[in-house]
Amino acid sequence: MSEDDDLKTLDEQENSTSDLECLDGISSDELLKQELEAKIKRQEELIREDEEFKKNFKIETKILIRMLAFILCSFIYITIYVISISRGAQDIQTKVINSFVKIIMYICFGISFLSIIALIIYRISDKIKKAFNSLSFKIKNYIFNGLDWFLLLPICTIIASICFCFLFTIGSVDGSSMYPTYSDEDTVFISYLDNLDRGDPIVAYITVENNIVEDLPNYKSIYPEYYIKRIIGVPGDKITWINGVLVVNDEVFDESSYLAESQIEYFKNHPVNNFNGTFKYKKNGVIETTTVVPDDYYFVMGDNRVNSRDSRMIGLIPKKNIIGVVKFKLSSKANMVGIV
């Protein structure tokens, strides 16, 4: 082989080596690019998984909180109801809150019971836990939204119950014993917070244990009962009511602000149901008499003195049995708990 041939072969080898190095360089860049894209894609997947986990964890926590809220609402409502019974206002508490509200609380009780069962099973069963965790976010969100919206109803009921138990209530007058101030089926607003004073119209809870009702016909089927009357005598008072003239502590008391003039004139000419000043009341189940209103008792009468069953017949009313003070009339023709 000649020297020229050797040089040509050497040049071809150098060119081939250079081409291989170029190809190797291109392959490395592409590999790096692919690796970088794979890493970016993996990071994006991790971010999505992390966001999905956080989103699921957040919605699961919200569902748990709503379930616990239903349970709490149920316990609060039951507590309020028990307190209303101890206050002697259970009929007002249950009847003012109409059947629609009762249905809401029954559903709340049902959801609370199911929530307790679900939480117990979730804690002890891995299958249930996995099944719940495998639910899509969309389904969990539907569950949360349903609980969230319905939870507003028992919360509103709880607020109303707190008001009716501790602040005020609404009742309907049944009868004409407070005419002309209040007529049959008038709806009245009753405040629990007002102090008791002479002249206040009040609602009292009349019971066999605390009032003298045994002489009344069918008293066991009538009482306990709610009465709407007016406070005439407070602790320490001496009271007489003769021929339409009210005397309090030896002074004539003007009742023209709440009695009709025609009533006053009628009483003067037609003495009925006079009261001579001897009070009767029950203390520890025993009937006692006195001429001065004792502590924690009140003498009450209806404005319609001719047609009113009040302290002249059933004795003094214990303070603990006075539900509240009637503040004003709301409307007529109501369908709530009746107050005689």
Q: pLDDT tens across 261-289, in order? A: 888 888 888 777 899 999 999 998 899 99
Do 192 and 264 fall into the same domain? yes
Report the C-alpha gap between 69 and 152 in whole angstroms: 10
**Pick from 137, 168, 199: which residue ends a domain?**
168
CB count in 10 Å sphere of residue 194: 14
Residue 141 is assigned to a structural domain of this protein: yes
How many structural domains are present in the chain?
A: 2
Pair 147, 70: CB distance under 8 Å: yes
Domain holding 302, by residue range, is 174-339
**Pick from 168, 183, 212: which residue ends a domain?**
168
Torsion angles phi and psi, residue 227, rounded to 5? -115, 140
Indicate the angle between helix axes 137-162 and 3-86, nearest 10 degrees: 20
pLDDT exceeding 90 applies to what percent of the chain?
27
**Which residues have CB under 8 Å from 323's CB, separation 6+?**
87, 88, 89, 92, 169, 190, 192, 202, 203, 204, 205, 226
Strands 168-173 and 338-339 come out as: parallel
Tokens, residue 234: 């407070």
108, pLDDT greater than 70: yes
Do 54 and 150 fall into the same domain? yes
Do 68 and 143 fall into the same domain? yes
Pair 331, 164: CB distance under 8 Å: no
Nearest residue to 306 (alpha-carbon basis) of 338, 337, 260, 339: 260
**Pick from 168, 200, 224: which residue ends a domain?**
168
Active site residue 99: no
Do 127 and 234 fall into the same domain? no
Strands 297-301 and 279-283 come out as: unpaired
Do 71 and 206 fall into the same domain? no
Residue 15 is assigned to a structural domain of this protein: no
Do 66 and 183 fall into the same domain? no
Domain CATH code at residue 202: 2.10.109.10
Do 121 and 244 fall into the same domain? no
CA distances from 133 to 52, 136, 160 (A): 12, 8, 37
pLDDT score recorded for residue 285: 87
Report the C-alpha gap between 198 and 249 in whole angstroms: 13
Do 185 and 127 fall into the same domain? no
Do 279 and 180 fall into the same domain? yes
Residue 11 is assigned to a structural domain of this protein: no
Residue 66 is assigned to a structural domain of this protein: yes
Report the C-alpha gap between 231 and 202 in whole angstroms: 7
pLDDT score recorded for residue 113: 87
Active site residue 177: yes
Pair 309, 223: CB distance under 8 Å: no
Nearest residue to 310 (alpha-carbon basis) of 340, 267, 283: 340
Residue-wise pLDDT tens digits, 142-187: 888 888 888 888 888 888 778 877 888 888 888 889 988 999 888 8
Q: Which of 84, 172, 229, 308 is catalytic?
A: 229
- 46 falls in which pLDDT band (50, 70, 90)? low
Element (H or E) spanning 199, and its range?
none
Do 297 and 206 fall into the same domain? yes
Do 96 and 180 fall into the same domain? no
pTM above 0.95, yes or no: no
Residue 5 is assigned to a structural domain of this protein: no
Q: Which of 177, 282, 308, 311 is catalytic?
A: 177
Do 210 and 238 fall into the same domain? yes
Residue-wise pLDDT tens digits, 185-242: 888 999 998 999 999 999 998 988 889 988 777 777 777 888 999 999 999 999 999 9
CA distances from 305 to 264, 271, 313 (A): 10, 10, 12
